Structure 1
């Protein structure tokens, strides 16, 4: 059976167990098992993964912008292990919450340097 991973996974939304958007599948990471067979290890999301996939000037610009908004460039993509994927339909649905995944370095930087400085940022709305 032939599986076209790019068509079935790339650019699909990644949704956590609570229905929250995690990101989009920007690339796929492979690994090789002990017998030498490749397998899908994780799904990659984030500006770094997207920039490398696109390539050229636009791709380098995406990576540079992401690197600008981190304390420790280069920005690694967020890796979503295939083990936490529950199913793939119109979106990639996870078994875990987004909070259980590693946080995005860009999102962490923006939260620390921008969002937290907004007056009332910690106040609950409602």
Structure 2
């Protein structure tokens, strides 16, 4: 399996097939004398902008901290051990309703989109 080709930018779903987002980054553990090991995937705008470089990643993290608080200034991580299936989508053995992954979308829906006439 080639991680960058087979994992990055794939749709992520929870065990109920609820779409969470796309894989925006991979977190690997470097081990001396052994190949790196993937320990988590990252989702969200912060991880996505980090792919453009350090400066866009820092800018997005500062903006997220200002709008949503310091706890939200990091990308969402899902442990690699929670992978259930890798196919067209990547299915994780989590319940998205018990996480804060969709908190930003919910905030936007309530505070921005919901105020648009006809939304």
Contact 2:62/2:73 (8 A) holds in 1 = no
- What RMSD in Å do the two structures reach over aligned CA positions? 3.2
Aligned residues: 113
Question: Residues 94-109 of structure 1: matches in 2 within 5 Å?
Answer: 94-101=92-99, 103-104=100-101, 107=104
User: TM-score scaled by structure 1?
Assistant: 0.70
Q: Does 1:110 align with 2:107?
A: yes
Range moving further from structure 2, 36-45 or 7-16: 36-45
User: TM-score scaled by structure 2?
Assistant: 0.73
Q: Any unmatched runs of 5+ in structure 1? A: 119-126
Question: Residues 1-126 of structure 1: matches in 2 within 5 Å?
Answer: 3-33=1-31, 36-55=34-53, 62-63=60-61, 65-72=63-70, 75-101=73-99, 103-104=100-101, 107=104, 110=107, 114=111
Q: Any unmatched runs of 5+ in structure 2? A: none
Range moving further from structure 2, 56-65 or 80-89: 56-65
Q: Which of structures 1 and 2 has the bigger CA Rg?
A: 1
